[in-house]
Chains A and B, each alone.
Chain A
């Protein structure tokens, strides 16, 4: 142990003698480790951001979408009309359904909203009171659509925060003001709290009107675009999926489940798909980073081989004075390991800084898994042993006379 410590301090001394070379040799490892850590961190933070956004759409959420009915292998063109208000009603009231707590029949369409001189083209959802519960919508001011407004087909609208700022300007209170959609004047009764999200997940640039109004006056349709359900708990998601599935199959008089004219997704299904996709992406990127780590390792081996050649006389002398093969191997191996370890340390530091900078830049959460750091450490030490071994072995195999004669 004491001997190892002495070899260690001696190796450290040798490495500090030629700082430029030591630095350059370790640079490959620094870059390799840093890119592995950065890419893993970025992948994980993206994954986390997406999954928390999906989570914010509602917990224990099941979505029934209308689907095409296969008849003798031919897909029916009238695909999206298969879900009706009665279906939603049945799910809500049927005694067979024991695991669903809330049912929200929904329609969606893009509409032009006008308020004074401002207008915007956004998604308008036809909703019932249960919508807010199922989709975890919180009110900033006013109230969400009520069942009374629905049965009375009142022309009222709830606006997302982004719509408010587009139509009325930042920080204004639109409650009681009117917004025109398709020539009909709607009274603003509430605004929602910002949920964040972007692209198809953007929930701030949305307006909600009563379902009955959306179906009859805006879209002229009697069917639904989808039905969202909230299961009673996470554990009964599968049961809920089955119960609702059988109920709808019997209502639609379909005996073979593979011919179902609807499909039921759970939040978990979507999340799993997204996680798998981003996971694959992270793995791919890390794989590319791992290649640079390999190149770094070869760089270390190259430098160590040069060092062995340069120090042939020294190795010969050490052997003449009684150094055994094991001692020489240990010495050169420890040098290589110190090199890769230092590279690993700097790489980890650089990786942390880079992931912080990138996540800040991309606006996603800064995630750093201790596993990836541990992995980077082990990999860099492993590379030291792997690529340091051959030069060390070569050094130990030098014959002392050959080595002493070497000029």
Chain B
């Protein structure tokens, strides 16, 4: 029995400037179930970034409903949105977005600080997830001492710490070399299959999208394709 963890209905996002109205998302509806690994694909300007911002509770839709893990993300204040992001969403950004000159361990502990997890527990959890992404020997390295792939793995560990409803990855391999990209995809597949995490990944690269179990294609603010990926690519070990 699959319950939708993301439920989007008739969602539109319209940017208004003085002269023009830009429709970034045009009446989109879909749902994602718990445990899915979905890639959202589309060329630049297709509206996939806008979609990612709304799914990530970084932005609110102009029209339509978005229910994330049973919570209606609508008419929430900035602080309430911050709370939803903190508890329900694990972000993995294209540019990693780690705190500069801060150790991997401290970076991973940051969301737990905002969730007011007791200090003793934070370190324990952070160490566990850093070990999981294979960085147990790099915990005290600052972010500028790590390679792109390593930084992204720290970011994944950071995304996992509060056991979020979804992992939201925005072009997670966009800034790293292909060999390391494959490692990242392998981690995603592991946490999806072994830990049952729901992953939503935005990308414009078809071979990266090929690692997902389901591919949603967006163009001009509309969904033009939504299919199961029967030939899921297995990342090389």
Contact = CB atoms under 8 A, between A and B. Distances in A.
B216 interface: no
Interface residues of A, number: 20
- Which of B59, B83, B97, B116 has most chain A Cβ within 10 Å? B97
A321 B85 contact: yes
Interface residues of B, number: 25
A317 interface: yes
A325 B78 contact: yes
B82 A404 contact: no
Interface stretch (B66-74, B86-94, B127-135, B185-193): B86-94
A303 to B, nearest CB: 19
B97 A313 contact: yes
B101 A322 contact: no
Contact of B82 (A3, A6, A323, A401): A323
Contacts of A317: 93, 97, 99
Contacts, number: 54
Given A322-B86, A401-B58, A6 B113 contact: yes
B117 to A, nearest CB: 11
Nearest to A321: B111
Nearest to A7: B113
Given A317-B97, A404-B93, A404-B97, A322 B56 contact: no
Nearest to B53: A401
A137 B118 CA distance: 75
Nearest to A405: B49
Given A2-B119, A401-B58, A324 B97 contact: no
Contacts of A296: none
A6 B59 CA distance: 29
A324 B116 CA distance: 12
Contact of B59 (A17, A313, A321, A401): A401
B11 interface: no
B101 A400 contact: no
Contacts of B93: 317, 404
Contacts of A400: 58
A243 interface: no
Contacts of B97: 313, 317, 320, 404
A120 B133 CA distance: 97
Nearest to B93: A404
A321 B96 CA distance: 13
B79 interface: yes
Interface in B96-128: 97, 99-101, 110-111, 113-116, 119
6 contacts: A314-B99, A317-B99, A320-B91, A321-B111, A321-B114, A324-B83
Given A321-B86, A401-B58, 18 more contacts: A2-B119, A3-B113, A3-B116, A6-B119, A313-B97, A318-B110, A319-B82, A321-B91, A322-B82, A322-B114, A324-B78, A324-B82, A325-B78, A325-B79, A327-B114, A400-B58, A401-B53, A404-B97
3 closest residue pairs by CB, A with B? A322-B86, A322-B114, A324-B79
